[in-house]
Structure 1
């Protein structure tokens, strides 16, 4: 992919030899480069480790129900403690990201939940495990919206949605890894679940790599008055794309944040207009009143509704699927193997969403996949054979995780820079309230009307999420609001 010239008659078309662009516009015009790939890989590995941690707890609960004889109520408490931490972590993490930077919060959250997960492997009782899962949730909840915000602020505008779906696709890799560890480690014996959780120490080490190797958001740096560092980061990305900027190399240091070297830089630079890709203008939205300002109120309500409903249905289903399969008479090993197969369907779901999101747009893609999730949940609730369970489960996994990819893409695009971390974090925090409720709701629904009633409720939640998604503004290809 190469930068394309602006069409004749467009605002970027010019007969002069230079054109003034802001740093954000200079990033938006670029093709996807190796620098983008490294950032995506670094963020994505952290994302995958998050997914591995969330996925492992479903296998741990199933294993503890066999080896410790814990009740469904205890299992619900273990799961909900993590989601309670995620609710608080998402809100606080978003606020911190707008104040101290995206990269710093990303690294801190990896460290917190990595160490807490490793400590969970040593828990000697349900109470200790509940407390440690809450701490794990604090780190995990803060990391996800911060990572998507950081990646959104670097991705080229023309393919930003696709890049965020690629980021979210790492979730599938982490969940698959959790299923593999659950199947071959957690199910290996009475202490297998401890060894499975011990793998969670990996993110603690990875956080050091994140902190040292990732650039900070240019938009955040500008708001913090660190213009020289912001200029260095932008020129690094331009150099990776083979795009030159008049004025020579900038001497600042992006990795360390030093601003002692090099000349002071304005927030814009002259650029050859032939190298400028066409990027539609951003929304003109005011942040007076924050995410509840008149301009942002409607999109905040719609985003919160989607987050609440998709969390309720997703975590209600996938946290309990291994245990519910055991309840149907399958062995622990069979249950975990079925879950692994179902999890593999996430990968084509993400791939399809990544393709559609720049063709149909964010709103239609999100709505379509949420509608498919509703139908798949209905089918799973009615499944009465191994073949039907696997088929409906794979469809549920396909559509649901494709919807998650589109949701993470659309969230950061709805808010200007000053409240982007706050807006995405607050929506995630509200959604976590539903994920706290889901583990308690499932045993009640199953006891009342069986799995058909439980998955019927999830289908309704997915349908409501689809309706809410359709109220969100379409941001395909647009620049992020400043």
Structure 2
């Protein structure tokens, strides 16, 4: 960066009002989470037809259900590295074009291996979008709105999931045995719309400045924030930390942050993804069958949405640290009760599932907030991608094991295992979760945040 930033550099950007540009960017960035929720949920509905037609075993069901998660593991890491190397804007649409092509190809899948490969590739493209879109949004958004807008991306995950259930049920009731093919190909339509909307999105000025492309960075700043904003208004992040790259991230002070983000993210999504991939089987095991099971799935999805909306209202008022701890503790209690009383009445079962869905919203929105706040610009995409990848290892394994766990342990044991995962998330959050509320982005990323509450944590958190 050629300009020297003063002590209040970045305040004009971090304290800027929320503009129409920020709102549009948040909406377009939410396309990735929407597609993630859609493709991961539509498979649960489609499996009703896929399982008998392709003669899938429990193991094959688990592999196909987890295939997109495995793809996300691969795509998030690669996408994060690419977005730090080549920029956010270029890859912002390429990944969605890949989703379109693979979604169409699923229509002609004739065997489990072909279907697994295609969903693996779709997962890779979805995973790549996580660090690309969230880094771009984080680097443009004023501090007051950063938490709600980043967290709001998770709301779109559940909107995508709810849409998938609606589309799936409509296609099941109106088409023949090939309805599952139309379900899996249906992601093509929203992906195409999102590609068109994202066209023309500018590159992140923080990334451009970090790469020495100061004239381009200043042009973007003037276009977005006004003619009187210059490159000097960007904070010099090098003053806030030691130099760090992806190869050194685990050895540097950021290794502790990566450890916490990976563990907390993994614990927050394993039970949730298992419920979405095999929601019908779980509800059937809890004696909710047929129409009641469909109503239960729809209600739980609505509760997830409500929970995320409530968490968005709390993320700045409560702070990040209290929100993540309370979310893990109380949602884990709901899972514990489901595990202890699997034969409870339908009303009790649905109530406990609804409580879990509402309360877990805190951990869900922070999956997008924490990783983007705790790492500097030159490795933000890589760090988000790496954390997303590591979290998907556990999520993929958990999803793969759900059908076998239901067979071997029963629904009670499966729910107790999910509760135990929440306990792990709560413990590591009590020990290591930082507080970043009210900080500028470069202050959050600094190795010793100025206003963070001192807590016992691994180095660099």
Are positions 1:287 and 2:244 aligned together? Answer: yes
> 2:436 matched to which residue of 1?
475
In 1, Cα distance between the equivalents of 2:323 and 2:58?
A: 36
Relative to structure 2, which stretch is displaced further, 402-411 or 130-139? 402-411
> 1:346 matched to which residue of 2?
304
Q: Does structure 2 retain, via aligned residues, the 8 Å contact 1:87–1:433?
A: yes
Residues 379 and 354 from structure 1, CA distance in 2 versus in 1: closer, same or farther, beyond 3 angstroms? same
Are positions 1:414 and 2:374 aligned together? Answer: yes
User: Deviation string for 1:42-87 (max 9, x for gaps)?
Assistant: 1123421231111111212233235555332221010222221111
Aligned-partner SS, 1:292 = coil
Residues 462 and 46 from structure 1, CA distance in 2 versus in 1: closer, same or farther, beyond 3 angstroms? same
Q: Does structure 2 retain, via aligned residues, the 8 Å contact 1:49–1:174?
A: yes
User: Deviation string for 1:324-348 (max 9, x for gaps)?
Assistant: 3345565555433321111011222
In 2, Cα distance between the equivalents of 1:364 and 1:155?
A: 23
Relative to structure 2, which stretch is displaced further, 69-78 or 415-424? 69-78
> 1:268 matched to which residue of 2?
232
> 1:200 matched to which residue of 2?
187
In 2, Cα distance between the equivalents of 1:358 and 1:431?
A: 25
Superposition pairs of residues 400-479 of structure 1, within 5 angstroms: 400-470=360-430, 471-479=432-440
In 2, Cα distance between the equivalents of 1:404 and 1:460?
A: 18
Deviation at 1:286, TM superposition (A): 4.1
Runs of 4 or more, structure 1, over 6 Å off, are none
Pairing partner for 1:355 from 310, 313, 320? 313
Are positions 1:314 and 2:268 aligned together? Answer: no
> 2:144 matched to which residue of 1?
158
Are positions 1:233 and 2:193 aligned together? Answer: no
Q: Does structure 1 retain, via aligned residues, the 8 Å contact 2:275–2:282?
A: no
Are positions 1:30 and 2:16 aligned together? Answer: yes
Are positions 1:149 and 2:106 aligned together? Answer: no
In 2, Cα distance between the equivalents of 1:23 and 1:56?
A: 46
Are positions 1:104 and 2:90 aligned together? Answer: yes
Are positions 1:336 and 2:322 aligned together? Answer: no
In 1, Cα distance between the equivalents of 2:436 and 2:314?
A: 14
Residues 139 and 147 from structure 1, CA distance in 2 versus in 1: closer, same or farther, beyond 3 angstroms? same
Superposition pairs of residues 208-227 of structure 1, within 5 angstroms: 208-227=195-214
Aligned-partner SS, 1:475 = coil
User: Deviation string for 1:161-212 (max 9, x for gaps)?
Assistant: 1111122211121111011112222454422212212211124423532552
Count of residue pairs the alignment pairs up: 431
- Can you give the 5+ residue segments of structure 1 that lack an aligned partner in the other structure? 1-18, 247-265, 271-280
Deviation at 1:21, TM superposition (A): 7.8
In 2, Cα distance between the equivalents of 1:429 and 1:116?
A: 21
User: Deviation string for 1:229-277 (max 9, x for gaps)?
Assistant: 22222222323xxxx627xxxxxxxxxxxxxxxxxxx63159xxxxxxx
In 1, Cα distance between the equivalents of 2:188 and 2:414?
A: 34
Deviation at 1:426, TM superposition (A): 0.4
Deviation at 1:390, TM superposition (A): 1.7
Q: Does structure 2 retain, via aligned residues, the 8 Å contact 1:361–1:474?
A: yes
Superposition pairs of residues 13-24 of structure 1, within 5 angstroms: 24=10
Residues 229 and 203 from structure 1, CA distance in 2 versus in 1: closer, same or farther, beyond 3 angstroms? farther
> 1:44 matched to which residue of 2?
30
> 1:93 matched to which residue of 2?
79
Kindly report the root-mean-square deviation, in angstroms, between the aligned alpha carbons of the 2 structures: 2.5
In 2, Cα distance between the equivalents of 1:209 and 1:20?
A: 39
In 2, Cα distance between the equivalents of 1:456 and 1:71?
A: 25
Q: Does structure 2 retain, via aligned residues, the 8 Å contact 1:308–1:432?
A: yes
> 2:104 matched to which residue of 1?
118
> 1:171 matched to which residue of 2?
157
In 1, Cα distance between the equivalents of 2:74 and 2:194?
A: 21
Aligned-partner SS, 2:78 = helix
The structure with more radius of gyration: 1
In 2, Cα distance between the equivalents of 1:326 and 1:66?
A: 17
In 2, Cα distance between the equivalents of 1:181 and 1:386?
A: 26
Deviation at 1:132, TM superposition (A): 0.8
- Can you give the 5+ residue segments of structure 2 that lack an aligned partner in the other structure? 446-461
TM-score by length of 2: 0.87
In 1, Cα distance between the equivalents of 2:389 and 2:194?
A: 22
TM-score by length of 1: 0.83
In 2, Cα distance between the equivalents of 1:356 and 1:385?
A: 32
> 1:245 matched to which residue of 2?
228
Is the helix fraction higher in 1 or 2?
2
